[in-house]
Amino acid sequence: MGGYYGLVFLVVFTLIPARCDESCGGRDGLAGEAGAPGRDGYPGAKGEKGETALMLEGPVDEAVLRRLKGEAGGRGQQGFMGPKGYQGNLGAAGQPGEPGRPGAEGKGIISGGQGAQMARSAFSAIRTHNTYPGFGKPITYGRTVVNTPESDNKDFNAATGHFTCRVPGVYYFTFHSMAKVSMCLNIVSQALTNSLGFCDYNRNSDQVLSGGVVLQLTAGQKVWLESFRDLQRANELRDSQDKQIIFSGFLLFSNLE
């Protein structure tokens, strides 16, 4: 009988642990530390080309176009120069420009700057006479065609045959004569070391004699014409046919500052 009770106790003891394993569980443990980042994967394969976009009818939203527009590409190389085009038609004339500013006030050639005494000088005188002009004497003139400036004190005096420099500068003087006899004429001036002689000899026709000179003159210097003896025959000096002499001169440019 005592052995029987011992068996019952053993059976009960072994049943208790089996029942605890089915109904009781342990608590979750703490989360482990994060591992190191993994390596990048291999690049994926290139995707297939998409279908061409269809152009919609009607107005297009510019904002949408700007979003769809790709980035600008790099600048390409400069192309070759094309052929020259045809010349276009002449354009219409432009509008007239604005008037310029007034220039500086001019200077007179004498103190006070009088407008009537500007730097100009010119003359042309004519002698028509049947007598031969005297040798070694200034030739005088019957009339003047031009004698500027127009003032009482002119640069050229027809009665004396003298041109008197009023405006210092460079002048040109010339003469022409026409006669049926031989003629010799000198250009004489205080600005010349020697006079300039010109001759034309009779060939039984009208003789035309011309001469000229450019002179640098200072104020007060004179220029005139003279006849001189060379190879003229005696009967030519007594000739009574008309003989014409034209004496002219003018200022090329002045030396006034």
Q: Supply the pLDDT for residue 8.
A: 46
- What's the whole-number mean pLDDT along residues 17-40? 72
Pick left, alpha or beta for residue 149 (phi over 0 → left; psi -120 to 50 → alpha; otherwise beta).
beta
Instruction: DSSP letter for 37, please.
Output: P
- For residues 217 and 255, the answer to whether their CB atoms sit within 8 Å is no
Furthest C-alpha separation in the chain? 212
CB neighbour list of residue 177: distance below 8 Å, 6 or more residues apart: 183, 185, 200, 207, 208, 209, 210, 243, 244, 245, 246
- For residues 219 and 212, the answer to whether their CB atoms sit within 8 Å is no
pLDDT band at 14 (very low <50, low <70, confident <90, very high): very low
Residue with tokens 């004190």: 153
Alpha-carbon span 142 to 159, nearest angstrom: 8
Q: Is the pLDDT of residue 54 over 90?
A: no
Alpha-carbon span 194 to 210, nearest angstrom: 18
Pick left, alpha or beta for residue 44 (phi over 0 → left; psi -120 to 50 → alpha; otherwise beta).
beta
Highest mean pLDDT among 70-84, 132-146, 163-177: 163-177
Alpha-carbon span 77 to 256, nearest angstrom: 63
Q: What are the angstrom distances between the C-alpha of 64 and each of 51, 52, 53, 58?
A: 18, 16, 13, 14
- For residues 191 and 221, the answer to whether their CB atoms sit within 8 Å is yes
* Percent of residues, the chain, with pLDDT higher than 90: 23
30 or 116, which is more confident? 30
1 or 125, which is more confident? 125
The phi, psi pair for 235, rounded to 5°, reads -65, -25
- What's the whole-number mean pLDDT along residues 62-67? 70
Does residue 9 sit in helix, strand or coil? helix
pLDDT band at 35 (very low <50, low <70, confident <90, very high): confident
Q: How far apart are the first and last CA of the chain?
A: 167
